[in-house]
Structure 1
Amino acid sequence: MCHRFLSGLLVVAAMALITARPVQAADDDTQAVKAANRTFHDALNTLFTGDAAPMKAIWSHADDVTYMGPVGGMQVGWSQVEPYWDKQAAKKLGGKVDPVDVHITASPTLAVVHYYETGENIIDGKPQPVNIRATTTFRKESGQWKVIGHHTDTLAYLQK
């Protein structure tokens, strides 16, 4: 009898796992994440002109944010990430990058966006191609999607 009960319980548990779906964001949230990712890239392109303010605005200012960009290394916490944006803005790299082949996975409070960043930077007056994989992670904070992580491949011409 006990064996039969346990077998039945296992079948019910297995069916629950098979039919369970992850909690997903509403379409409105997915569209809002898409817009936030566009805002991130608008801020990145503005950063290339020397202005870090829009980039600082799209990021969460929490201690758990992380940045691993095309220069290499890793910054953890807003106290490390914020001055990094000032340093990058000072380089005035020029050029423009855009996200392509964007894939968004979102829940009501977290979202991960995978894509390629393509375009170019201008180094010593010469265009340098950008074609790297990127992942940006967003968290909903006070009703707004804020970046809490950004990770890309490295670019050799930025590692000098």
Structure 2
Amino acid sequence: MPIRGRLATAAAAAIAGLVKAIGLTMLAVTLLVVAAPSVTEASADEAHASADERAIRDAVDQWIVALNAMLNGDPEPFADIYSHADDAYYMGAEGTYRVGWDAIYADWQAQAAKSTGGTVTAIDVHVMVSGDMAMAAHITRGQVRTPDGSMNENDVRETSVFRKKDGEWRMVGHHADGIPYWEEAFDQ
């Protein structure tokens, strides 16, 4: 092949490579442009969440902070997020049922005194707000140290009820149940 032909072939190959690279770049840009609205939509949905919904999500975050403190011996953070009202209630995953702030806090103090460490996180948080009442449901996933020192991994279903009073949301009810119990009960 004459030199001019080889140069033309090389130039054509270079141009084809450039077109391919540009094509891939354009494909990537197109994918970003197409995908961007879904990211933007999620952000817009989050931006449209009411201030009350955001406040309840923040309260769930504070609940998890309080649980982690209790698992490490400190029940005090519960006092900041839970209502101190006589009609507040707590139904713990271990089977307790307490009504009134004094009984609830005494339960948490006893749990904290027995706690030997652990960490939890909330996943799949679902929030509903209606007027001055709200609820949040989620799974609390964690690792809790047992008295023998081993770590127990578990998931707990939790539902919390909140009441807005004087512009502040406080937890007035909480129910938790351990998922493994129900799995074992119905697998038999």
TM-score of the superposition, structure 1-length normalised?
A: 0.77
Larger helix proportion of the pair: 2
Given the alignment, which residue of 144, 159, 172 partners 1:135? Answer: 159
> In 2 relative to 1, CA 28–104 (structure 1 residues): closer, same or farther, beyond 3 Å?
same
Which residues of structure 1 form unaligned runs of 5+? 1-25
Distance 2:122 2:168 in 1: 20
Distance 1:82 1:33 in 2: 21
Alpha-carbon contact 1:133-1:152 (below 8 Å) kept: yes
RMSD: 1.8
User: Identity of paired residues, percent?
Assistant: 39
How much does 1:145 deviate?
A: 1.2
**Structure 1 residues 108-158: Cα deviation after superposition (integer angstroms, max 9, x where no partner):** 31111011110110002111012121101111122221111111114889x
Match of residue 101 from structure 1: 124
Alpha-carbon contact 2:158-2:177 (below 8 Å) kept: yes
Paired letter, 1:152: A
Distance 1:110 1:93 in 2: 35
Paired letter, 1:134: E
Q: Look at both structures and tell me which one has the larger radius of gyration over its CA atoms.
A: 2
Alpha-carbon contact 2:117-2:145 (below 8 Å) kept: yes
Distance 2:129 2:119 in 1: 27
4+ aligned runs moved over 6 Å, structure 1: none
Structure of greater relative contact order (alpha carbons < 8 Å, 6+ residues apart): 1
Which residues of structure 2 form unaligned runs of 5+? 1-48, 182-188
Match of residue 146 from structure 1: 170
Match of residue 62 from structure 1: 85
Given the alignment, which residue of 92, 95, 99 partners 1:76? Answer: 99
